[in-house]
A and B are shown apart, each in its own frame.
Chain A
C-alpha cells in the first residue's frame, strides 16, 4: 500500500501517484478526522468562499459539535469552549432572547428590517460597476442556494429570497438564516441584554441543556411540530437531539420525549407569534417564530437559616453546602427554617445542575448548594493489575487496604474540602469476597459538629451494564502505567517550572488526566493547565500499547505562575465507559534553598558524556535520586510499587516496569522516557553514550516538533535494552554533526540532548535543597571547534541556563564555558610544581594538548583525531554533503561483527543480538556506534588485545598522536622536553590495548614507546623515561578537573586562548592564535592554491610513516613488546601508506570540505592526521579481508 498525502494522518492508497475515487474523500465524516487546533486557540473563521460565508459558518459550528459528540459520545463535547461552541451559543441566544422578548421588555430595544430579492434588482441598476458586480455575485449565489435539495425536496421555496435583520439599539446584531434559523454579526455586540437570571446574552458559552427549561420545551416543540424547520436546519436539529440526553429535569425530559413520540404537537399554537414593529418574524418562508408572553409570578429566594446539614470543612468558603442523602431521616436535625426534613421530601440521587443553581429538595424556590453521594463518589472504581506505591501515593486509610485501586473520588470533593479532610474521612476496604467498600464521611454541623453523613458504596466485579441501585458500584479493571518527573514541589515557586507526566496504556483503555491544585478559600477547583501533550507510540502503530507524555510547564516570563498540582484526576475510557479515579501524589516539598555554592560540570563528548556535581567539597556523578536517602527521594516516580523481595531484581530495575509487570510497557519507559534510577547503585550511570533517541514520526528539522522527554529523549538504556527500530531513531555523533551548518535537524537534536541533561542536573541540584541560581554551571568546548559551531553551543547554553538555572533573562553570570583541554590538569591528585607537564586528552572525536610549565599553562592545542578515528569510515569528504545512509564497513566492524554475533548466538543472548541488529540497521548510527557497543562487553577488549593484525593500527594511531604532539611542543620551544605526560579522555584507554595491561609505565611498554618518539622528535640522545599519568576513569577527568580547578581557571580565564596554537601539520609551522597576520596568510584558499604547503604537510606525514616502520618498529621491537604480527612486511607497508597521490588527493578534498561545507576560511587545526585517518580506514578493510592482507605479509 502507498501512503496518501492528505490532511488526515495515516491514510493509505492502492498505488503511488494519483488515485481515482468515485466519492468525495473529504466528506463530513472524513473532515471530522482532520486535526485542527480549534479548541486550543480561538480563531476567526471566515473561510467559506461565498458572500454568505457567515451563515455557513453557523451551520458548520453545529455540524462540528454534532460530529464531535458522535465520535466521543460524552457530555464534555457539548461543553467545550471553542469558537464553534461560541457560535452555537450565540445562535441559541438569539432564539432565547426573542423567545423572552416580552419578559425582557425588548420592544423598545429591538427593531426588525426585512430584506428581499427585489433589493438586488435596484442595485443592479446602479451606475457604479462595483455595485452591479456585487449584485451579480449575490444573484449567482442565491440562485444556487435556492436549488439546494434540502429546500426543493421539502417544499421550501426560495428561502434565500428574503431575510429578516434584527437591530439592537439601531445596530445590526443578527438575522435569519435558511441554514440555522438565526445567525449573528461578526462584529462585536456592545449593547447588553440580560436574561432573567442576569446572564448577558452573547457573552459566555451556554449549551442548550443548561438553558431555562421552558425555553428548552419550546424550542424542541418548535422544531418537532414543523418538519420544514427540521429539513432546513438539520444540524441544529441534531444538536437539539443530543442535548435532550443531558436534561436532568424529569418533567422536561418526559415532555420532550412525548413530543418526539408525536404528542403535544398542537401545543405549538399556544405560543404566540412574534411580531416586531408590526411585522411577523419569518424564520423561513411561511414559518413564523413564536415567543412566551409574560405569565407573571416571581420566584422568591429564601435565605437558609440555621441548618444542621451544612458541612464542616477546613476550607473557608462563603456558602458551605448542605450534605444530603437519599432516604435520610432524622427528626432532630434542622433542615429549613428551623424545621426537620419532611419525610415526604424526596432527596434525589443526582442533581445535574451546577451547585450554585441547585434548589434544595422540597423547596423549588430556594436556590442553595447541596451535595450528594454522586457528586463525590464515582460509580466505578479503577483497578490496576499491579500494586500501587503507597509510600508515594496516598491510598486511603484502612487496615485491609485495597492496594491496586485508584481513589473513586470525584474532583468536585475538593471544591468543598481539603486533601487533609479527605485523608481523615475516606476508608477503602477490600472484603474477602473481592468486593471493595468505600466510606466517605462528611462532617456536618449537627450534634454540635460531631455528626457525620456517610456516603458509601460497595463495588463488585460485575458487568457495568447490569449495575442497579445507588449503593452498588463496579470494579473496572484497567491497564496503564503512570509516572511523574520530577517528583517534588519546590517552595520557591520560580523553580516549579516543569513537570513531565508519562502515561503508558493498553490500547483498550484511553487514559486522560487533569491536574488540580488545592485551594482553601474558594469553593472552586484550580485546574493546572497542561502545556503540551505528545502521543509517541500511537495506537495506529500497532503495538497494542500507547505512550503519552504530558508537560506542565511555564515560560521564563511567567516566573510567578504557579504550576504545582496536588491531585490528579484520571479519566479512563474502558469499553465506552468513562471512569474517573483520583491520584494524590505525596511529593516531598523542598524548603528554602541553601545559598552555599555548588557546581555542575557538563562534559559532552563525541561518544561519551559525563556530568559531575560538586557535593561536600568533592565531585560526584549526576544521579536522579538524593544522596543517602535512596530510595526515599527519587526524582522519577511511577505509580506502581517497587519489587524489593527478589534477589535478581536490583538497581533501577526494582522500580522500573520489569518482569513482574506487563513487559510490553517496559520499552516505553526505558526507550522513550527514562529509567527510575540513574547513578551509582543503578545499572544506568554516567558516563553515558552521546546518543539521542527520537520518535520516528518527528521531523527534527522543525524545532517545534522537538520536545524533550516526549518526542525525543536520551536513551539511558541504550546497549542494555532492546531498542525499537520501527518506532524510534537513535542518532549519534551529535556534537560534530552540527559542523554542517545547513543541518538544522542535527542542531536541534544536539540541543535536545543538552536540554535533557540541563533539566536533570538542575533538578538534582534543586532536590538537594541548593539554589540553582547560585550554582556554577560549566560546559566544555573543544578548541578546534569552529566559531560558528561554538556560537550554536553558546546560544543554547545561554538559553537553557537562563531558563532553568538563573531564571532571569540575560543573567548568565554563573555559566562558564571552559576549553576541554584546560580542565583535566586539575583532576590529578598530584601537583606538578617544578615540572614540565603535558596533558593529552584523547576523546572520541578530539584530542586536546595542554602544557604546563611549573603549573602555569604555556601551550594549548586541539585537533580532530582521537579514539573514534580507529573505527570510523575515514571521513568520506565527497559523500559528506550527500546525506546518504551511513556505511558500516570499517574493517573492525567487518571482522568483529561476525565474531561478536557468533558469541551472542552461542550464549543465546537474544537481547544483545537484537541490540546489535538495531544498531546495524539504523541508518543514523555508524561504525563507531557498533564498536562502542562492543566495548561495553568485556570480552571485546580481550579479543582486541590478542588481535595481532589490528594491533598495527592501534600502534600507528597512538604513535601518531605522540609524534605530532612532540612536534608541536618542539616547534614552540625546541629545547624543552616534557617530564610527565598526563592522559585523559576515553580514547586514552585505547593505549591499554597494545600495552596489554593498564600499567602504561611497564617495562618496554607504552611509556617506553612514548619516550622513544619524543627523543626522536626532539633529536636528543639520552633522555630519562617520561612518566605517564592516567586516571582510573579517564573520561571523568574533564568534568571533575573543571569543578576542582574552577577557581584557578576563573582567575585566569583566558590562559587557554592566550596560549592557543594552531599547527599547520608540517614539522615546524605553528601559529599563535593571536597572530592575526600569519593566520590570515594561512587561509584554506591560500593553502589549496599553494602546492608547496600541501607538499610540506604530505612529507611530514610520510616522514612519520617512514620513522614508524623503519626505526620505531625495531627500537620498540613491536612484534615482541606489543604483540603485532611478526609476518608484516614493513617495506610493503611503507609503500602502501606512503602513496603520494593518495596523500595529496585526500588533503585536497579535506581542504575543499573545510571551505565548502564547514565554511571555514582560516586554518583551524593541524592537517597532519588527515592522510592517516583515511589510511587507517582503508587498511582496516584490508585486514578484514585475509587474501588482501596476505599481500602485506611475508617476503
Chain B
C-alpha cells in the first residue's frame, strides 16, 4: 500500500494513535510506505493530544535517524520501522466560535430574513445545544458536532490531504461513538468522502478509495457525581443509551458508506475521573485502545491487493475483537495467536526497553566491551540525540503506557509484563520519567505467566547476558557495512534479542 491517512477524532482518536505508535515501534507490520495521522480535535489544549505530540516527536527522531535513505523493503520488522508523518492537526479551535449560536449568528437570523430557518433550528436543537461552549469539544452532543466539524474541510491541512491523495492510498477513521467529537466526525467525514458532488480536490479518487474505521463503543465510565452536582457536563450514565441510538443510526445511514468497520466496546468498564477536556484530560491508556490500534494493522492487510472499492470482494464488512476468556485481567497468554508474532514483537521490544534504559549507558561507557568496540561506537554515543530520544521514548511513554494499561481502574487490565515496582509507580505519579530498575533475577519473570526458560544449576544461577550475546553476533552486523552507527547498533541489538527470544521463549 502507498499511504494510509488516519483520521483520529477526539481524545480516543489520539490515544489509539499512541497505542499504534507503540505497536509500530515494536516492529509490527511495515506493509505501508507511510502513515499520515490527521488529528481532529476541537480542543487543542487537550492533554491526550499533547502527550501524543511528544510521543510522535520521539518516534520521529528515532525513525529518521535509523532509516533515512533506507529502502522501504529493507529491515522489515525492525523496531521503529514504519514511517509516521508529522501529524497534521485539523484543529478548529472551539474558542474561535464560542457557541453554536455564535457560529451562525443565531440572534441575527430573524433580522436578516431567515425567520423560518430560525424556527427550524429551535425545533431541531435545544437551547442547551445552542449556548454550549465549544472550547472543550462537544461534550457528548454529536448533533452539534456534526455541524461545527464541517469547518475541518476548510482547513489548509485537509486541502493538502485532498491534493496529495493518490490512487491506492487508503483512509482510516478512528472515533468513539459515545463522546461528541468522534461520534459526529465519523459520519460527517464519510458523507463528505462519498459525496461525488462535494467539489473536493481528487474527489473521484477519494470517493472510490478503500475506507476503514474503528468505532469505539463505551469502555469506560466517569465519576457521575461531578455531573450530578454540575461540575462536569459529561454523564457516563448515558453513554450506553447514547451509543445505542448512534449504533442504530450507523446501521441505517453509515454502514453502506464504509468498507471495513471495526467495532469494539466493553461491558467491563474502566472508571476515570470526570474532566471536560482541557489540559487535564489525560485518560490512562487502555487495552481497548491497543485493540483499536491493532484494527489499523488489520486494515492495512485487508485485501492488500485492492486499490479501489471496485477491487473489493464485498463492499462493506465488519469486524469485532475477541480474547480467549472473559476476564478482567489478562496477559499475552490470553491472546491466543495463530503464530506468536504479536507477543514476540512486544516481548522483544520490552527487552529492548529494559536494555536501553538499564544497561545501555554502562555498555557504551565500558572500554572493554567487545561488540561496542567492534562497531567503533564512541563513548559519546549514549548522549547522542538518538540515544536520548530512545531513552525518552521508553521512560516517558512506553513504560507509562504499560503501567496505565494495568491500572486497577480498568475493567480489563492488560498486564503483559511484570513492570510494577513501587519506584516505577511513584515515578509515574510524580510525572517523572519512569525508572524501571530491574534485577538480573527479574529478567526471567518479566513476561507475566510466561517465564523465560532458565537453566539453573545448584549454586549457579542462570542469567540473561545481553552483552555476551551481542558480542557473539556482532560480526554478522559488521558484514552489512552499515553507514549509520545508529542502524548498526539497532541491528546488533535486534539480532541479539531475537536470539534471546528463541532460546528463552520458544520452548
Interface residues, chain A, with chain B CB atoms under 8 Å away: 2-13, 15-28, 31, 34-38, 41, 43-57, 60, 63-64, 83, 113-115, 119-120, 122-123, 126, 128-131, 133-134, 136-137, 140-141, 143-144, 148, 163, 165, 167, 172, 174-175, 183, 185-187, 699, 701-702, 742-745, 878, 881-884, 1155-1157, 1159
Contacts and interface: CB of A to CB of B under 8 A. Distances in A.
A884 B265 contact: no
Interface stretch (B23-31, B240-248, B344-352): B240-248
Given A6-B265, A26-B263, A34-B244, 9 more contacts: A5-B323, A6-B266, A25-B320, A31-B251, A37-B241, A45-B242, A49-B186, A60-B244, A63-B248
Interface in B264-288: 264-269, 271, 288
Contacts of A19: 319-322
Given A26-B250, A137-B146, A18 B120 contact: no
B318 interface: yes
B359 interface: no
B448 to A, nearest CB: 7
Interface string B445-488: 10011000000000000000000000000000000000000000
A692 B237 CA distance: 30
Contact of B421 (A141, A167, A881): A881
Contact of A174 (B113, B123, B141, B255): B123
Contacts of B195: 140, 143
Interface stretch (B76-84, B147-155, B385-393): B147-155
Contact of B425 (A11, A137, A141, A742): A742
A20 B319 contact: yes
A701 B324 CA distance: 21
A56 B249 contact: yes
A21 B322 CA distance: 13
Given A10-B326, A19-B320, A140 B116 contact: no
Interface residues of B, number: 111
B119 A165 contact: yes
Given A26-B263, A49-B142, A31 B244 contact: yes
24 contacts: A6-B263, A11-B320, A16-B334, A17-B322, A17-B342, A18-B319, A26-B263, A45-B238, A47-B241, A47-B245, A53-B142, A53-B143, A54-B125, A56-B245, A115-B117, A130-B102, A134-B103, A136-B150, A137-B146, A141-B191, A143-B197, A186-B128, A742-B425, A1155-B422
Interface in B297-352: 298, 314, 317-326, 328, 334-338, 342
A15 B338 contact: yes
A54 B123 contact: yes
Contact of B183 (A47, A136, A742, A744): A47
Nearest to B449: A884
Contacts of A8: 267
B242 A20 contact: no
Given A3-B326, A113-B116, A46 B264 contact: no
Nearest to A697: B326
A52 B268 CA distance: 32
Contacts of B325: 3
Contact of B448 (A26, A742, A878, A884): A884
A26 B252 CA distance: 11
B49 to A, nearest CB: 21
Interface of B: 97, 102-105, 112-117, 119-120, 122-129, 140-143, 145-147, 150-151, 154, 178, 183-188, 191-192, 195, 197-198, 217-218, 235, 237-238, 240-253, 255, 261-269, 271, 288, 291, 294-295, 298, 314, 317-326, 328, 334-338, 342, 408-409, 411-412, 418, 420-423, 425, 441-442, 445, 448-449
Nearest to B185: A49
Q: List 9 tightest A-B contacts by C-beta distance, closest first.
A: A47-B242, A186-B126, A53-B143, A1156-B422, A13-B322, A2-B322, A36-B240, A49-B142, A130-B103
A24 B271 CA distance: 28
B128 to A, nearest CB: 8
A60 to B, nearest CB: 5
Given A5-B288, A60-B248, A882-B420, A46 B323 contact: no
A7 B241 contact: no
Contacts of A3: 322-326
A49 B188 contact: yes
Contact of B295 (A2, A18, A129, A141): A18
Contacts of A883: 420
A54 B122 CA distance: 11
Contacts of A4: 320-322
Contacts of B116: 113-115, 119, 165
Contacts of B113: 122
A2 B323 contact: yes
Given A15-B322, A21-B317, A140-B192, A46 B104 contact: no
Contact of B445 (A49, A143, A882): A882
Contacts of B241: 36-38, 43, 45, 47, 83
A25 B103 contact: no
Contacts of A143: 195, 197
A995 to B, nearest CB: 39
B441 A185 contact: no
Given A9-B267, A12-B322, A17 B337 contact: yes
Contact of B105 (A9, A53, A131, A186): A131
Contacts of B408: 701, 742-745
A18 B265 contact: no
A17 B321 contact: yes
A1136 to B, nearest CB: 15
